[in-house]
Amino acid sequence: MTDLTDLRLSYTRAALSRSEMNPDPAAQFSEWLGAALKDDQLAEPYAFSLATADAQGQPSVRTLLLRGVDEAGHLSFYTGYESEKGRALTENPRAEMVFFWPSLEQQVRVRGSVERLGEAASTGYFHQRPRESQLAAHASTPQSAPIASRAALEAQFAALHERFAGQDVPRPDFWGGFRLVPERWEFWQGRPNRMHDRLVYTRSPQGSWQLERLMP
């Protein structure tokens, strides 16, 4: 047994004031993300945890990479449609993202509905990826399915490398993008004595954002 009860940090870096928050949560997120991208202590500040639940309500969570935020605050990422998360999002197109930036003592939660990106956007991003990553998308299908060995996976990759030698790698129709359409944003700033700042935006039926403070 590992006892972790005495391990804790005291957050003292900053405070979060309601009056300082941008009325547009997407703009507030872009400001925080920009600061995280400039922080040398964060290896992949665009990484996030994605929580989903399938049609039976079985939850699952994993780490992905954010690949875009548009002016409306829609957050995009890419995966295999036949993966565990791809199937869950098809069955139950709702999810939550969590970004955690420990050196900034900040966290952002984003909840909303999820929809597939169009074919053009998925194809455009696919061809921006390194060629080896394009081949890996083909080699690792169906994503999340069992495979006999690492050697079998490497053999599939080698065969595809030979198959597409000297030509563009086509985007497979089982791979593409999703975007989360936010309905709720929560911005968290660590504070001393676990008296953290939590400010949440929720969308009203009229489409405007309402901001309030939550108990830590």
Q: Which residues are annotated as a binding site?
A: 62-67, 78-79, 85, 107, 125, 129, 133, 143-144, 188, 194-196, 198
Structural contact between residues 201 and 25, judged by C-beta atoms closer than 8 angstroms:
yes
Structural contact between residues 138 and 160, judged by C-beta atoms closer than 8 angstroms:
yes
Binding site, annotated residues for substrate:
67, 125, 129, 133, 194-196
Structural contact between residues 180 and 117, judged by C-beta atoms closer than 8 angstroms:
no
Neighbours of 28 (CB within 10 A): 21
Q: Is 116 helix (H, G, I), strand (E, B) or coil?
A: strand
Specify the amino acid at residue 139: A
Binding site, annotated residues for FMN:
62-67, 78-79, 85, 107, 143-144, 188, 198
Positive or negative, the Cα torsion across 81, 85, 90, 96?
Answer: negative
